[in-house]
Amino acid sequence: MKSKEDCRKFFEKISEFIDGELDAKERTIIEEHIKECEPCLKYVDSIKKVKECLKLENENCSEQGEIIKKCLKKFLSQK
């Protein structure tokens, strides 16, 4: 089982991980972590879904606050 400290280190790098900005070593460490840590895996999946929604909605709406509200509402309704 992973420690809270492992998860904390992971959260510090989540954005870079999702955006593919980490070097191979760091990416492998995080990939191994999420294989063993279901809460972190769910967190990654949720962030990816929100980012994808934001990207899609941005094409249809110029108001950022409205985009975020719409995407979060959509995401939360899927739970």
1-27 confidence digits (pLDDT tens): 556 777 888 888 888 998 899 999 999
Q: Which of 40, 32, 31 is nearest to 7 (CA)?
A: 40
Contact 14, 43 (CB under 8 A): yes
Q: How far is CA 48 from the centre of its chain?
A: 4
Cα–Cα dist 22/17, whole Å: 6
Domain extent, residue 35, equals 4-77
Q: Look up the pTM and report it.
A: 0.64
Longest Cα pair distance anywhere in the chain, in angstroms? 43
Cα–Cα dist 68/39, whole Å: 23
pLDDT digits (tens, 9 = 90+) for 17-53: 988 999 999 999 999 999 999 888 888 888 888 777 7
